[in-house]
Amino acid sequence: MGKNVYKIFIILFSLIVLSCEQDNIVNIPAFSGGGKLAGSQSILPNQIQRLNGIYTVIEGADQLGKKVVIKGTGNTLSVFTGKNAGLIVFHCGRIDSTLIFEGYWRYTQGSETGLAQFEIPAEHNGISLLQGINPTTAFQFHGKIGEGSSEPVTQITLQFDRPIKDTTFGILAHRGGGRNSDRLAESENSLGIIQLAESFGATGIEIDVRLTKDGIPILFHDENFSPRLVNGEYCVGPVSNFTFAAIRSLCTLKNGEPIPTLKEAMDVVLTKTSLSIVWLDIKSPEAISPAAALQQEYKAKAAAAGRTLDIYLGLATDELVAEYKKKNLSSSADALCELSVNEVRNINAKVWAPRWTLGPLPNESEQMRSEGRKTFVWTLDQREFMLPFFTSGKIDAILTNYPALVAFEYYVFQ
């Protein structure tokens, strides 16, 4: 009787939690009919990137903070703000020589969101930007933001201050771009979230790798399928108990996406992003060999495409390190080790990855650098602790759930 009561309690508790999650979903608004962009021509990525820089907020500081960072990636333009890890993500186009930017804003450390619409008329540098002339300190970027799906009415004016000095520092998005708990438009560890990661500020991603019963590497964080991360009445229990065909038949991620294979994820990274780092967080020893094979395949494909793409096997436990040694992979499969610097040397890992709570560790990080290795720290989300990692000059990348926040803090710090 007691066990039955306990089971009923667990079921009811799960239903309540899931109901709360559904109620808290942040719906990203979009312009009706495609907005002005529906009738526009495309802008080339290099033209979008001419807007890159640090800007002073002349109007709209209550919404955005005193400074913002603007950075173009591919066909989108992002604005990273100093308030609540905020960001604006624009799609871009032009009508004649007027540049049109439409999209949404959101506080990633909150639920507030709304539409955003900016323009650069031809007479206000629209033509010069198209012709390859970079903005000066006299340049202003004007637009409006709104609340929810309402028409944007709050005036925003941004004035160019200075260029972004360095974009080589690694800003790595956790679980492909962000967690489900942050109520993003795509599920964690999905193909969709990987494609959004750069617009969130990331230059690389961390993704979780597990093996199915029939040996297929997939992206999934937890050891077990549960309503926390998946939909599907019969999608419950250890991931390793399910064949890939069964997973595709029975399970979807929380926002309805299929659970991707590692191969599918790497295809997306290579063909649909310009991400430069992929941290494969290996979740079980048996996943190391198939992940290493795909690592080699996609390093070769990236090189053939002229892409700089570093892919690391993430080893976080003694058990994983032992399997890596057993397979004798140190000469062929680049590793990232979360254990001691001595273990990093023992397996000749390319990256040392201590947790951020240990501090910047400048002496150890300098040793790693002198040996031709890099240092990444994880998982840093708190603004007040970031500065020492920037000022040390010895850290090569930060893994975070809020890449927009790290992007803002790092680029403004420079």
> What are 31-44's pLDDT values in tens digits?
999 999 998 999 99
d(CA 48, CA 72): 6
What CA–CA distances, in Å, run from 100 to 91, 198, 248?
Answer: 8, 20, 40
Poorest-pLDDT segment among 1-5, 178-182, 274-278, 405-409? 1-5
Poorest-pLDDT segment among 12-21, 101-110, 208-217? 12-21
Cβ pair 249, 235 in contact under 8 A: no
Query: Taking 80 as the threshold, does the pLDDT of residue 12 lie above it?
Result: no
* 125 confidence band (pLDDT: 50, 70, 90): confident
DSSP state of 221: -
Q: What is the pLDDT of residue 371?
A: 98
Q: What is the pLDDT of residue 97?
A: 87
- Segment 160-186 mean pLDDT: 95
- One-letter amino acid at 4 equals N
Q: What is the pLDDT of residue 132?
A: 84
Q: Where are the domains of the chain?
A: 32-162, 170-413
* 14 confidence band (pLDDT: 50, 70, 90): very low
* 123 confidence band (pLDDT: 50, 70, 90): confident
* 7 confidence band (pLDDT: 50, 70, 90): very low
Higher pLDDT, 283 or 121: 283
Cβ pair 111, 118 in contact under 8 A: no
* 1 confidence band (pLDDT: 50, 70, 90): very low
Strand partners, 282: 209
Residues in contact with 28: Cβ distance below 8 Å, sequence separation at least 6, in sequence order: 104, 106, 113, 185
Q: Looking at 182-258, list the stretches that DSSP marks H as alpha helix, in order from N- to C-terminal side.
A: 191-196, 244-250
- CA 275: distance to chain centroid? 9
Confirm or reject CATH 3.40.50.10490 for domain 170-413, answering yes or no: no
Higher pLDDT, 96 or 319: 319
Stated length of the chain: 414
Give the pair of three-digit tokens for residue 50. Answer: 């001419």
pTM greater than 0.75 (yes/no) = yes
Query: Taking 50 as the threshold, does the pLDDT of residue 13 lie above it?
Result: no
Q: What is the pLDDT of residue 130?
A: 80
Query: Taking 90 as the threshold, does the pLDDT of residue 21 lie above it?
Result: no
Query: Taking 70 as the threshold, does the pLDDT of residue 18 lie above it?
Result: no
* 15 confidence band (pLDDT: 50, 70, 90): very low
